[in-house]
Structure 1
Amino acid sequence: MRTFSRSLPMALLRGREAVMRHFRPLLRAHGLSEQQWRILRALTEADTVEVTELADRAFLLGPSLSRMLRDLEARKLIARKLSKDDQRRSHVSITPKGVKLIEAVAPYSEGIYAEIARSYGSTELAELQDMLRDLETRLSEMPVRHAADAVDREPDFSSTSQTKRRPAKRKAAQGGS
């Protein structure tokens, strides 16, 4: 087994953390979480987006997104409208106040990107972004294998809890009285 430090998920998490360490203070200064920023950024690229599509674009789970949308709507940074076709669905758009916030944060965000590019190299950064997109594409095409069979072979390391069943009534099953 590879060392923990060479684990791809850990390397990706460490890289993400190294990047976000530079953006978090900027977002906090504007009263935004990383997830709220992702929502606003995703909304700047579309006039209106259905909530499930926004969840995909911003890479958020539905319950988390719902909570964040309530907060952003209360702050008048986004607007929600029920779908005309299906009242269970809603569409989200960024408001002029949300656009002003993006415009206020954008120059500082771009400054951070410029610092990262100077430190890491603009060519290397572009290559890294291309490689990560390629990794995402290739892995999304790869079938996901369920490893429960491998885990469940060892009773001490079972991935599912074994429920205790009552023993069958043997006399009834054997035809006895």
Structure 2
Amino acid sequence: MAHRFTHRNLPQQLLKARDALMANFRPILSHYDLTEQQWRILRALDEHGQLEPREICALCQILSSSMAGILARMEEIGYVQRQRVAADHRRVLVSLALKGDALIDEMAPLIELQYQYLEQAIGKRLLESLSDALQGFVDAQSRPVRRVELPPATLT
């Protein structure tokens, strides 16, 4: 059978790479009873301070339809706090609560140590190159990419 594609399946490669990378961190998240989404939110708030839910969605790649429920559960646990913006009550700012900040303090050394172990196993240069390449790809998406013209839909 002839191959129909000449390009590698980049989305599939990225999914496999993500899964391989997260396999190194899931035991830490599991130990602290955190989901990957909760961790992404905690990390984003630690790095950026107060954020609006829409900003968290964009930074953490979480659908807005899921965000309200995730934030509500995280607020119940005491990891985050939400407050309305005084000038515009439609807007909400989310920040780390004391318990969330303490959790980050406890987890950060473990996360950093796991990155060190990754660097030892696969090489610091490879890890940095991968990070730079991914950031370069994300940054390049600001340039328009021409889209294929789709044929009319056919019923099968």
User: What TM-score comes out, normalization by structure 2 length?
Assistant: 0.89
C-alpha offsets along residues 65-84 of structure 1, whole Å, 9 cap, x if unaligned?
11110011001110000122
Q: How many corresponding residue pairs?
A: 153
Corresponding residue number in structure 2 for 1:75: 77
1:86 and 1:146, CA in 2 relative to 1: closer, same or farther beyond 3 A?
farther
Unmatched tracts of structure 2, length 5 or more: none
More displaced 10-residue stretch of structure 1: 9-18 or 118-127: 118-127
Amino acid at match of 2:92: S
C-alpha offsets along residues 12-65 of structure 1, whole Å, 9 cap, x if unaligned?
000000001111111011010011000000001233111111211222111211
Aligned mates of 1:99, 1:49 — CA distance in 2: 15
More displaced 10-residue stretch of structure 1: 20-29 or 42-51: 42-51
Moved over 4 A (4+): none
Corresponding residue number in structure 2 for 1:98: 100
Q: CA shift at 1:143, angstroms?
A: 3.0
Return the match for 1:28 from 27, 30, 45.
30
1:34 and 1:90, CA in 2 relative to 1: closer, same or farther beyond 3 A?
same
Q: CA shift at 1:146, angstroms?
A: 6.0
Unmatched tracts of structure 1, length 5 or more: 158-177
Corresponding residue number in structure 1 for 2:16: 14
Return the match for 1:60 from 44, 62, 68.
62
Amino acid at match of 1:59: Q
User: Computing the radius of gyration over CA atoms, which structure comes out larger, 1 or 2?
Assistant: 1
Aligned mates of 1:33, 1:108 — CA distance in 2: 16
Aligned mates of 1:45, 1:12 — CA distance in 2: 24
Amino acid at match of 2:119: A
SS of structure 1 residue aligned to 2:25: helix
SS of structure 2 residue aligned to 1:71: helix
C-alpha offsets along residues 117-146 of structure 1, whole Å, 9 cap, x if unaligned?
111110111111001101111133233626
Identity across aligned pairs (percent)? 34
Superposed CA RMSD in Å reads 1.9
User: What TM-score comes out, normalization by structure 1 length?
Assistant: 0.79
Aligned mates of 2:69, 2:148 — CA distance in 1: 31
Aligned mates of 2:134, 2:140 — CA distance in 1: 10
